[in-house]
Structure 1
Amino acid sequence: MAPPPVVTGLSPKEGPPGTRVTIRGEFLGNQPNDLIGLTICGCDCLLSAEWKSVNKIIARSGPGKGRGDIIVTTRSGGRGTSTVEFRGYHETIGPMKESAVWVEENLLWSRRSMSPSSYQQEDPLGLSVEENDKKFPEEELHEYFPDGSGDLTSENFTPGWFLLENHHATTFNDLKAGLAFLRRKVDGQKEGQLSFLKKNVGPVMDQVDTLLVLKDKIEQDIQEFGIDPTTKLEKAIREAMEEANKLFEDVLSRRDRADSTRSALALLTRFRFLFTLPTSIEHNIKKGDYDLVINDYARVKNLFGKTDVVVFKKVLAEVEHRIEKFQDMLHARLQQMPISIDEQKRLIRCLVNLETVGDPAWDAVASNAKHVTEQLNKCREEHRNAEVESVSKKSAQKHKNRQTNPDYQNSVPQRILLIEEITEIVTENLPNLWKMGQSYFMGDLYITPNFTRQTTFKHMILSVIETFCKYVREAVLPHTIDKKSLTATSSSSPSQPTTSLAWPVLELDSITEWLPHCLRYVRSSYTMLIKLDLPGEALDIVATLVQDLRMHTLSSLFKQATDKIKLLHKQETWRIEYEGNYGGITDLPFKFEKIIQEVMQLVKESVLISEQRENSLLQNPTSQREFNHLIQVMLCGISGTFEKLAFTNDSANDEDHTSAVSQLIGSPAVNRVEKVNYSTPIFEHRLLTTLANCQFTTKIVLPRLQDLFHKQGYPTPVIAIETAKSTLNTLDKSIMEAYLEQKCDPLVGTIEPSMYIGRFEWDTRNMTNDVSPYVKECLSNLISVQTEVYSISPTLVDKLLKQIVETVAEEISRLMSCVKKFSDQGNIQARVDILTLQDILSPYCTLTAKNFFKEALGVLPKIAPENQKIIDTTLQTSKKRMNLQIQCFHGVVSTQSNGIVL
């Protein structure tokens, strides 16, 4: 039964009789014949209705007047409702408007002027309507005057309607003036006939001319058509009446057919359930409503099972045939795998309710056991054949693939895919088999169980588990297959093949990395079997397999972590990430720590933690020694990684990245301008970054790892931690010495050439007012080194700069001791240079550096008192000029003391 029709929209919403109305809504009929009724304002409009779609109907309104609903009636949904209304009204017909109805002349023309202007006069009061632009609501006018009208020519003309519609904003005084105007106009029309003719001579003459023309036309028609010209008109009217009768007869015949069809349907509806049952069975089977099919079948047997009506017997025979086909379909679906246990129980219940012959419940159990064994054998056969085909190809192109295929090492072996699939097969199907068997023997499958089949069921379970364990060992633990007695599998399993196809011989290292993966899958299956509460005989087979896999997985995980740590230098991005007081470090220590954390967590979760029915692996002393050795090798691997990053010669990058120390004698030191962005920094930056990473790893990462071992319940590897720290400290000293050697020699080597640039001599007679260029260049070079160190590791600035300043002071002392003669001007210049260096570099001057500067000043001749003022003035002037250099050295030190990083 369809929903009843609902009208939700109209266009237009009002009009006179015969208005073409578009009706929109929902459930307006499925087809044209489904539309059996349409009323608009209470008038039947079905004859003019034109069905377009379920949401649209077009019709013409009837003679109804006023507001009313639009009611649509359909055969499928019945009588409908409407949320909108249509307003019908009758128009007043004027002399100039076309109409299909007769116009009463006395209604329009009695006691009215013949002048067209009199009829078409818009405002009889003669008032302005400029202030009445906004019309009064028409709905309210209908409420105030239900039977009235504002049309002057209407029989129901109401003055109040007219005034509200045209003069609702006119003042009372203006209305009085309009009334006086109307009275004068009426009085003016009460003239005699002579006066009327005088005023309307023109229209009267036009009418006379029209009458003469009409008279001539009538005489012409009489001559042409005869005295009775209406004969043809009468014939046409008669023909029209005949056609109208034909149309009416067709409507009546259609109505008769509809009534007869309706009567037949009423009779069929009484026994509709029986006659539609075969189709309903097919429809419900397609939808999967099996319970509805069974209920309908039981109902029809109760109602018509003993009937003697021939038609009913034919229908019942058809129903029985459909039910037999339904039973065959259910039985075939019950044995069609895979299928869920709930679906199987549902099918068994349906077959039992249909009184099917046989034992469908045991058929379901046997089908599950057969399906699991077939899936295991098929899976093993497919993956074994795939690996046999691929081994020969890989061995022939092994070297080529490793060079051209980056995913060669990451391709999953077929035997690993086998373990994934057979564990999924066991995990998904064995619970169904076990639960179906338990339900069968507990009597939950709607059939009385046969307890003699318990031994057969146990044999099914053991056969599946033994086959599963054998295939796992053949794939990843072939060296253990000889120690396990699995001959009973082939002899006790009728469905298992008697011959065993061996896997291709592979190196164990090629599958060792997949052992953790396999262990997770096998353990998940083992956990599932424990939850099923299987017999201990079956669980022991899987427990032995899990123990062997754990032993191999332990060493595999630590070996993988060690290999990852040794390859960390390939993942170095050299992107600086500041971390507290340990300078600029990269993410390499964090990656190292993350690898250790991951492998510790993975080993703990997948290997060390003993689950139900499993023994601990570290109870054996030999296993403990092996564990400690693996930890030590893994932790010490980071030292080799740092060493590769620090000292590996990258000639392609170092060739273009020159030293930050100025190599242009006599020109101020400038930082190099890199034309290309290199992913790998220059050698000095690598040394500093690696040095910061070493210190951070030694002081932060290793202690955190030691705490992590303790928190996660591992035996604390004290010896392994101390060995790793010792290795990192040795590497730290080597890196620092390499950096100082890289920076000190170029920087000190530029002092002497820059000092004597331009053939400068210390016995010069030229008076100076500034420090020498070599001092500025030396300071600029030191600032460059300081900036470089500070940008990477601020904590190393003080330690490195002090050693470099000692070397600079020693070189200045040496150069001054080699000068043979100083003039007064040269003496002043030398003292200004040395004092400037000593003062600006005072934050990094150690006792040794101060002694070197003191020795350099001691070599100079004594200064005259009058020249001391020149030295003081020059020092003050140069300090003002070199304020930026002073801030570079003194500002960094002050911020370091306050713990601030610029």
Structure 2
Amino acid sequence: ICNALNVIQRYQFLFHLPQTIERSVKREEYEKVINDLVRARTAFEKVNSRVFRNIQQEIEQQIQNLRILFRQRLTEFPSSIDNQQLFIRYLYSLDPRVDSVWDCIIHQKAALIHVLHSCVVHHRTQQQQQPYNIRGHDQACHVLATAFSHLWHLIQLYLRKRLYPLSERSEEIDRTYTHKASEFLTLTKEIIQTFISIIRLNLLNRSSPTSNSTSSQEDNLYVNHDEIDQRFKTLPHCVQNCRLCVLHLVSLDIQPDFKKDLQQLMFDLRLECFQVIIDYACLEVSRLNTQETWELEYDEQLGFHTKLPNLFYDIIVQKANIIDENFFEDKEAKRQADRAVCRLLNDFASVFKCLIKDCSSTTSNSMETLSTSTIIITSSEHLSKTLRLIIILNNFSYTRRFIVPRLKKILLNYGFHDMDHVYDKIEIIYKRDVEQLLDIVKNEYFRPFLHRLESRMYAGRFDWATHTRVISVKDYVKHIILDLARVHAEVYSISSPLVFIVLSRILSTLVNELSKLYSKINQFSNAGGMQACLDLNALQKSFERCMDSDTSNKLKEIISKIPDAAEHIESNGLTDMLNIFLKQMKRYLISFQDVQQQHTE
């Protein structure tokens, strides 16, 4: 009896142990529970009594419940490496035969991949919402950066055999750490490849950086302006988050092949970001025509231009820094950069075309003289159609002469090298567009008096065959001078270098029209021939500084076809009448004497 009492007294704590364990579990005092169980296990090994059998069975059931609880806690996701190590140690204390680390790794890997897959945005959902699901993308990056980091460190501890409190005996260590490095390599590869695939699906499924864009894709570039706005606002944020995540993964000393795959992902993302920036810049450029206020700024060399060319320059400068951060010395990136610069410059030319179309809707076609001292035009309603066309033409000239060279310099500073072929291509496009614009300007100026030219020439039922007396230059020549004087005044008020370019085009068309009219004359009387020579010589003398050589030669050719033209020209009577006419029209002709020959570059 005394021995029994001594045993009961010595192991009295066992009677209260089930209740103690239950209280400790509720309080999550797991360390105390483990210590009590280790102490109880030692006690049960020393005591073999029916008295403790029921208690032992109850404690074994509690141990089983604890195993389930600890396994659940070990499979929680996400979970820190400290918690994982703690519950691994608890489970090992409860049952050293179970490889709880491997179970934890498998569960963490499965949970991580499941969360990554939940971040995928399906195409239909993506169309209905925003182009890039920021929340899903951020979640994928955050989960991988945190959960994978803990998982990676757990794997490294396992491979170094530093998790279980084992003895130094190699056979015991080998028996416990049964899984090999190749298994973990496969597991890690699956996680990283899943992450890469999901990022590509979410961010790169719209366009492939290695695919050639078709013309139809370029035509549809601005179909959805809101989508381009969203892409520009969200993608740089997504790329930055992904970059931080990848940098963290690379710092974990993962396999070189995995690093290469992640670096390729970042390259493709940054290239996509570069493309989005260019898309947005092109969209901004394409909208510049809506920002035309017709406020004029003065340049000493070219005259007045609006703010539009400088707004275009500012857009490129604002994007240049971002472009620089996303630019690579890579063949594909170089090709994208070439296309980007070409698109931007070409789109700006399209802005001028839009403004020309807008000019077509104006109701005012009359020429209005603009004082050279005028700097600001408060409303486009005060501008004639022709004056706005001249402003657009000078904007184009200012862009070609100053803006494009400045852009070349700044883009060169940002790494856009060897792009002369792009600028050569753009110069060809710009020259073509300038020629088209000059034709529009010429037609707008020439159209009003083109239809009146023939009627003025034959006013008063004039007949070249029956004309008997030459008194002075005919009125149709005076009308031509007055009309072109108004053209000169309007063009000169914007840009003096454009005066010759515009007038020479108009005069070329005018001389061609006169050639047609004179070719229809079947017969000249002597006075009629002299009148024709006087009129055409008056035009020759009045506009000799405004004509190019081809136009001047064409006019001389018309004169030469008039009967007895040489005799008429040398006659004193014609010379006197010509001098009188030039003196009478001096106040109008004086402006034409200062015209300097210019050529479209």
Q: TM-score, normalised by structure 2?
A: 0.51
Give CA deviations for 1:362-400 in whole Å, capped at 9, x if unaligned: xxxxxxxxxxxxxxxxxxxxxxxxxxxxx9xx97xx9xx
- Per-residue deviation, 1:478: 9.3
- Per-residue deviation, 1:890: 0.5
Unmatched runs of 5 consecutive residues or more in structure 1: 1-390, 399-408, 423-472, 482-506, 539-543, 609-617, 662-675, 898-902
Q: Specify the alignment match of 1:566 in structure 2.
A: 286
Question: Separation in 2 of the partners of 1:813 and 1:518?
Answer: 67
Secondary structure at the aligned position of 1:843 is classed as: coil
1:574, 1:681 within 8 Å by CA — same for their partners in 2?
Answer: no
Q: Specify the alignment match of 1:891 in structure 2.
A: 594
Q: Are the structure 2 counterparts of residues 649 and 709 from structure 1 closer, same or farther at C-alpha, using a change threshold of 3 Å?
A: closer
Q: Specify the alignment match of 1:852 in structure 2.
A: 555
- The number of residues matched between the two structures is 384
Q: Specify the alignment match of 1:176 in structure 2.
A: none
Q: Specify the alignment match of 2:237 in structure 1.
A: 518
Q: Specify the alignment match of 2:361 in structure 1.
A: 652
Matched, 1:604 2:324: yes
* Residue from 520, 535, 540 that aligns with 1:833: 535
* Residue from 636, 645, 648 that aligns with 2:346: 636
Q: Specify the alignment match of 2:407 in structure 1.
A: 705
- Per-residue deviation, 1:514: 1.9
Give CA deviations for 1:460-493 in whole Å, capped at 9, x if unaligned: xxxxxxxxxxxxx9xx969579xxxxxxxxxxxx
| Aligned 1:713-862 pairs, distance under 5 A | 713-744=415-446, 746-762=448-464, 763-764=466-467, 768=471, 770-812=472-514, 815-816=517-518, 818=521, 820-822=523-525, 824=527, 829-845=531-547, 846=549, 848-853=551-556, 855-856=558-559, 859-860=562-563
The letter of the residue matching 1:808 is L
Greater share of strand: 1
* Residue from 311, 318, 333 that aligns with 1:591: 311
Secondary structure at the aligned position of 1:713 is classed as: coil
Q: Are the structure 2 counterparts of residues 602 and 580 from structure 1 closer, same or farther at C-alpha, using a change threshold of 3 Å?
A: farther
- Per-residue deviation, 1:887: 0.3
The letter of the residue matching 1:753 is S
Give CA deviations for 1:282-322 in whole Å, capped at 9, x if unaligned: xxxxxxxxxxxxxxxxxxxxxxxxxxxxxxxxxxxxxxxxx
The letter of the residue matching 1:518 is H
Bigger Rg, structure 1 or 2: 1
Question: Separation in 2 of the partners of 1:622 and 1:721?
Answer: 19
Q: TM-score, normalised by structure 1?
A: 0.35
Q: Are the structure 2 counterparts of residues 810 and 536 from structure 1 closer, same or farther at C-alpha, using a change threshold of 3 Å?
A: closer
Question: Separation in 1 of the partners of 2:482 and 2:316?
Answer: 44
Q: Are the structure 2 counterparts of residues 568 and 680 from structure 1 closer, same or farther at C-alpha, using a change threshold of 3 Å?
A: farther
| Aligned 1:76-115 pairs, distance under 5 A | none
- Per-residue deviation, 1:737: 3.0
Greater share of helix: 2
Secondary structure at the aligned position of 1:708 is classed as: helix
The letter of the residue matching 1:564 is E
- Per-residue deviation, 1:776: 0.9
- Per-residue deviation, 1:753: 0.7
Give CA deviations for 1:189-214 in whole Å, capped at 9, x if unaligned: xxxxxxxxxxxxxxxxxxxxxxxxxx
The letter of the residue matching 1:886 is L
Secondary structure at the aligned position of 1:885 is classed as: helix
Q: Which has the higher contact order (CA 8 A, sep 6+)?
A: 2
| Aligned 1:453-602 pairs, distance under 5 A | 479=201, 511-515=230-234, 518=237, 550=270, 552-582=272-302, 584-602=304-322
Q: Are the structure 2 counterparts of residues 523 and 604 from structure 1 closer, same or farther at C-alpha, using a change threshold of 3 Å?
A: farther
| Aligned 1:189-588 pairs, distance under 5 A | 479=201, 511-515=230-234, 518=237, 550=270, 552-582=272-302, 584-588=304-308
2:545, 2:595 within 8 Å by CA — same for their partners in 1?
Answer: no
| Aligned 1:47-62 pairs, distance under 5 A | none
Q: Are the structure 2 counterparts of residues 771 and 677 from structure 1 closer, same or farther at C-alpha, using a change threshold of 3 Å?
A: farther
The letter of the residue matching 1:554 is F
Question: Separation in 2 of the partners of 1:511 and 1:840?
Answer: 60
2:473, 2:535 within 8 Å by CA — same for their partners in 1?
Answer: yes
Secondary structure at the aligned position of 2:441 is classed as: helix
Q: Are the structure 2 counterparts of residues 838 and 567 from structure 1 closer, same or farther at C-alpha, using a change threshold of 3 Å?
A: same
2:488, 2:503 within 8 Å by CA — same for their partners in 1?
Answer: yes
Give CA deviations for 1:225-249 in whole Å, capped at 9, x if unaligned: xxxxxxxxxxxxxxxxxxxxxxxxx
Question: Separation in 2 of the partners of 1:724 and 1:553?
Answer: 24
- Per-residue deviation, 1:830: 4.2
Secondary structure at the aligned position of 1:892 is classed as: coil
2:533, 2:562 within 8 Å by CA — same for their partners in 1?
Answer: no
Deviating runs (4+, > 6 A) in structure 1? 507-510, 523-526, 862-865
Secondary structure at the aligned position of 1:754 is classed as: helix
1:812, 1:856 within 8 Å by CA — same for their partners in 2?
Answer: no
2:540, 2:555 within 8 Å by CA — same for their partners in 1?
Answer: no
Q: Specify the alignment match of 1:458 in structure 2.
A: none
2:271, 2:333 within 8 Å by CA — same for their partners in 1?
Answer: no
